[in-house]
Every structure is written in C-alpha cells, then in structure tokens.
Amino acid sequence: MTAPYQPAAPQQPAPSQPRNGLGTAGFVTGLIGLVFSPIPIVGMIAWPLVIVGLVLSALGVSRAVKGEATNKGLSIAGLVVSVVGLVICILWVVAFGKAADDLNKAANSEATVVYEVTGDAKDASITYSSFDNGAASTNQEQAATLPWKKELKTKGILKGGSVTALAGPDGGTVSCKVTIDGVEKKTATATGPAAMASCTGF
C-alpha cells in the first residue's frame, strides 16, 4: 500500500551573519588614534583616526540597535575611545594656539633694560649688550669713576644679554646689576685687581 503523499516542509532561510565589521574597525581605529593623540607632533595623525573611528563606531552601534550586528559593547567602546582621543587633539590645538599667541606677544613686547655698575674701582672697563629686535650686540665703555648706569629700550625676546664690569689695575670692588622693567634679574660682585663682575643669562 502506497504511503500518503507528504508535502515537503518549507526550507527555513539561513540566518544572516552578524555584520560586526564597522563596529570592530571603529574601535580599533579610535584606539590607535587615542594612543597617538597625547604625543606632540606625532599626534597630528590622530585627528583623522579618531574622526574615522567615531564615524565607524557610530555606524556599528546603529547596526547593533537594528539587530544587524552583535558587537554593540565593542562599538560603544569605540565611540568612547574616539571621543576621548578627539578631546585630547582639541586640547593640543588650544595649547599650541596659546603658545603661539604668547610667543607673538613676547616678540612684539617692549622692555626697558637698565644696567648699573657700582663700587670703588677706578678705570673700570664695562662691556654690555644692546638689543635690536631682541638680538644682542656688544658695546664697551670705560668708566673712570663709578657708579655707571645705562638704560636701553628693546622690543622682542631678549637673547644673549649681559653686562660685565672689569676693575682697573689698581683693583677695588665692582658690582653689576640688571633690571628689566623695574624687576631685578641679575647681580654680581667682585673685588681685587682686575676683578670681574658679570651679570649674564637674564
């Protein structure tokens, strides 16, 4: 006896594979950007990395919410590391901008430099720096008696400034002092024949 015909059961569609690529790529890219972001100069390459990581991670989260991906946690972690890296990059830009602004202000600022040499030495030889847009040039004067004073106006960052007082052959005491805009920067004193007091590096 022939068995009754049984219709074939409908085939179930194969379950679709989770699309985790974007979320994973976003996490990896954002993490690399975060690692590079605190490093001066090298951190410039972090900008595109953290931005790409942010976009890919956001797409990965979107896929996970729609049920197309299973790595929602990794995608969210990618968002976090990308945002942190982006914040660090922004802070670097702000810091560099402030440094450049401060340097520009210093380069255009004006200052009053006052050299003073005192003591009881006779025929002191005095060598001092004058400034042209911050660059120093050397000048020399002979002071038969002390005190001696020189006031200079300068613009820009001071480089290589100094004043040196050399006592004459009869010896004695010489002292030098440097003030910039009324603030004392350097002092030195020496005693004896050919004694030298030097105020440098201010």
pLDDT digits over 39-55, tens only? 877 777 888 999 999 99
Q: Is residue 9 part of a domain?
A: no
Identify the pLDDT of residue 43: 75
For residue 125, what pLDDT band results from cuts at 50, 70 and 90?
very high
User: Is the pLDDT confidence value at 74 over 90?
Assistant: yes
Task: Report how far residue 34's alpha carbon sits from residue 111's, in angstroms, rounded to the nearest whole number.
Answer: 43
**Do both 131 and 156 map to the same domain?**
yes
Q: Is residue 122 part of a domain?
A: yes
The model's pTM is: 0.52
Among 107, 131, 152, the domain boundary falls at 107
Q: What is the pLDDT of residues 93-117, one digit of tens each?
A: 888 888 888 777 766 778 888 999 9
**Do both 64 and 138 map to the same domain?**
no
Sign of CA dihedral 98, 99, 102, 104: negative
Query: For 170-181, what is the mean pLDDT?
Result: 91
Q: Is residue 129 part of a domain?
A: yes
Domain that holds residue 73: 21-107
Q: Highest mean pLDDT: which of 32-41, 54-63, 122-131?
A: 54-63
Asked if residue 4 has a cis previous peptide bond (ω within 30° of 0), the answer is no
Amino acid at 71: N
**Do both 45 and 97 map to the same domain?**
yes
Task: Report how far residue 166's alpha carbon sits from residue 177's, in angstroms, rounded to the nearest whole number.
Answer: 14
**Do both 91 and 124 map to the same domain?**
no
Q: Is residue 13 part of a domain?
A: no
Give the residue with greater pLDDT, 153 vs 150: 150
Q: What is the CATH number of the domain that holds 132?
A: 2.60.40
**Tokens standing for residue 189:** 């004193």
Q: Tell me 192's DSSP state.
A: S
In the predicted model, what is the mean pLDDT of the chain?
84
**Do both 98 and 171 map to the same domain?**
no
Q: Is residue 55 part of a domain?
A: yes
Q: Where are any strands of DSSP class E within the chain? A: 110-119, 124-132, 135-143, 148-155, 162-166, 173-180, 183-191, 196-200
User: Is the pLDDT confidence value at 160 over 90?
Assistant: no
What is the signed CA dihedral for 53, 58, 62, 63, rounded to 10 degrees? Answer: 0
Q: Which residue has the tokens 């670097």?
A: 92
Total domains, the chain: 2
